[in-house]
Structure 1
C-alpha cells in the first residue's frame, strides 16, 4: 500500500533582520491510507508551517514532498492546484466559511469546482451536514450559526470531495472544551468512516491521545 504522504528531509528557513531562523530541520514523515496522525507541539513550534508544506500552499521548502505517490516539491502551480483539489481537504482553526452562502452552499462549492454535478453535490452536502447534526441548519448562513456549528460546516466542506488526506490546523482550538470534544469526535468518526488519512496539528495532549499515532515537533525536529 503506497503512502498518502511521504516527506523526506523537509526544511524551511526564514530570514528576519539579517538572522536566519530554521523552522523545519530535516523532517521525515510517512502517513499511510486511513491513518490519523496527531502533530503535537507548542504554539510557534512550526506545526502550521509543516501543514502548509504538506498542503502545497506555499513554496520555499527544501527536501521532498510526495502526495499519493506524486512528487510535489517541484510541481508547477497548476499541478499543485490539481493535487490539492483531487487529494487534499483542509480544516483550519477559524472556519473561513463564505459569509454570503448558507451551510449547504459552502459544502457544495468545492464539489462544483471539482466537477461534481450540482444535484450530486447537494446530496453529498446534506448527507455530511446531517451526519454532523446540522440537517436542520442547511439554509443558515455562517452569521446565524454558533462557533461549533460553523466549525462543523468547515469539517463537512473539507470532507466533501472524499480526500485521501485531511489536513487540520488546531481544528477545535477556537472552541470551548465541551464543544471541542464533540466536534473532534464527529470529525474523527467521519474521517475514519470514509477511509481518509489525516494529519491534525494540536498543542492539546488529551486530544492527540485519541488519534492513531502522535508525532512531536520541537525546535524544527520531528520525533
Structure 2
C-alpha cells in the first residue's frame, strides 16, 4: 500500500445522489467521502440495491445529477466541461463490468486494441499491449477468437484486459465476476487483482461477496447511502 502522504487518484467529498420515484424522493447516496491512493485496491461492499453501481457511475463520470465533489487525478469533475470530463475518463479510468460487453464482431485482440486506438495509441503499439495483457491472463491461444467462441471466464478475462489497456490510474469494476460460477470467479478475480497490482493501478471493485472483498487491500461498506 502506498504512503498516506501520496495524493489520491480519486477523492469523493460529500457525494450525494437522489432520484424521484412515484412522487417520492429516494436518497441513494447521502454524503459519501472516499479517497483512493495510487496502487490501492478497495472493495466496495454492499447488498444489491445499496447504491454501489450508482457510486461507480459517479466516479466514472458516466452521468450527471450528483451533488458534492469528485476529484480525479487532481482535477475537479464539477469544474470541468464535457470535453474535459471525457478526457479525464479516457486518460485516467478503466472499466470492467459484470457482463463483459465485448464487441461481438471483433476478436479478443481487437476488443483490447480498439479502446487504445480511440485514445490515440498507434496500432502496432496497441496490438503489442493487447497481446501482452491477454497472454498475462492466459489467453495467448485465443487472440483471434470472437466472444461467442470463448467461455464466460475467457470473455471476462478479455474484458479485464480491455479495462487495463490504456494503463488507467484507477480501474472501476462492478461485480466483475458476479456472472461466473464460484471456481471460475475465484480464478478470474485472482488474475485480475494480480494484473492490477502488477500494472500499479488503483481499483475500486464493487461486490456483495464478503469472501471476495477480503482479498483486497481495504473494504468500505455502503449502508443507507453512507460509507461505513
State the partner residue of 2:22: 17
State the partner residue of 1:120: 125
**Cα-Cα RMSD:** 0.5
- What is the rounded CA distance, in whole Å, between the counterparts of 2:191 and 2:169 in structure 1? 18
| Paired residues for 1:54-133 under 5 Å | 54-133=59-138
Q: When the two structures are aligned, how many residues end up with a matched partner?
A: 223
1:173 aligns with 2:167: no
State the partner residue of 1:136: 141
1:196 aligns with 2:201: yes
1:74 Cα offset (Å): 3.7
State the partner residue of 1:28: 33
- What is the rounded CA distance, in whole Å, between the counterparts of 2:86 and 2:199 in structure 1? 23
**SS of residue in 2 equivalent to 1:73:** helix
Deviation digits for residues 20-71 of structure 1 (CA, Å, limit 9, x no counterpart): 0000000000000000000000000000000000000000000000001000
Task: Choose the corresponding residue for 1:50, options 14, 39, 55.
Answer: 55
State the partner residue of 2:190: 185
State the partner residue of 2:3: none
- What is the rounded CA distance, in whole Å, between the counterparts of 1:127 and 1:189 in structure 2? 14
1:76 Cα offset (Å): 1.9
- What is the rounded CA distance, in whole Å, between the counterparts of 2:79 and 2:185 in structure 1? 37
What residue ranges of structure 2 are gaps of 5+ in the alignment? Answer: 1-5
- What is the rounded CA distance, in whole Å, between the counterparts of 1:181 and 1:212 in structure 2? 16
State the partner residue of 1:8: 13
- What is the rounded CA distance, in whole Å, between the counterparts of 2:190 and 2:22 in structure 1? 43
- Aligned structure 1 segments of 4 or more residues deviating by more than 6 angstroms: none
> Which stretch of structure 1 is more off in the superposition, 169-178 or 66-75?
66-75
Deviation digits for residues 153-178 of structure 1 (CA, Å, limit 9, x no counterpart): 00000001110000000000000000
Task: Choose the corresponding residue for 1:208, options 201, 204, 213.
Answer: 213
> Which stretch of structure 1 is more off in the superposition, 72-81 or 101-110?
72-81
Task: Choose the corresponding residue for 1:151, options 152, 156, 168.
Answer: 156
What residue ranges of structure 1 are gaps of 5+ in the alignment? Answer: none
- TM-score, normalised via structure 2 length: 0.97
- What is the rounded CA distance, in whole Å, between the counterparts of 2:54 and 2:78 in structure 1? 15
- What is the rounded CA distance, in whole Å, between the counterparts of 1:47 and 1:157 in structure 2? 22
- What is the rounded CA distance, in whole Å, between the counterparts of 2:107 and 2:127 in structure 1? 12
